[in-house]
Amino acid sequence: GAVVSQHPSRVICKSGTSVKIECRSLDFQATTMFWYRQFPKQSLMLMATSNEGSKATYEQGVEKDKFLINHASLTLSTLTVTSAHPEDSSFYICSARPDWATYNEQFFGPGTRLTVL
């Protein structure tokens, strides 16, 4: 149980284009999901908290107009990187907190490797 999927697993795009990444909880409902970014040899940095049916909460320094988050259902959150540039190349990982989680556990997706040329 507590499986989270992400799609796509890898994406390569040209500078200036937009890329959408999907995060799905496959066997549980999640009112809250989180989006992280991880650069090589570094730890996970929280970008934003996504809540179903409401606006996402972004961490300081994260541009909300560049990283659009939509949490339209209890099993799906999407992250759209708009007008991507090479510096946006990174490993994007989502996590979901099951609504049944007693202790606020988060379960992570497998990640999406974004390369912007």
Binding stretches for other proteins (CB under 8 A) = 2, 4, 6, 32, 34, 42-46, 49, 57, 91, 93, 95, 97, 103-111, 113
User: In the complex, what is the shortest distance from the CB of residue 111 to other proteins, in angstroms, rounded to a whole number?
Assistant: 5
CB of 83 to other proteins, least distance (A): 26
Burial class (CB in 10 A: 0-12, 13-18, 19+), 60: exposed
State the minimum distance, in angstroms, from the CB of residue 105 to other proteins.
6
- Residue 59 to residue 37: CA distance in whole angstroms: 12
Cβ pair 2, 28 in contact under 8 A = yes
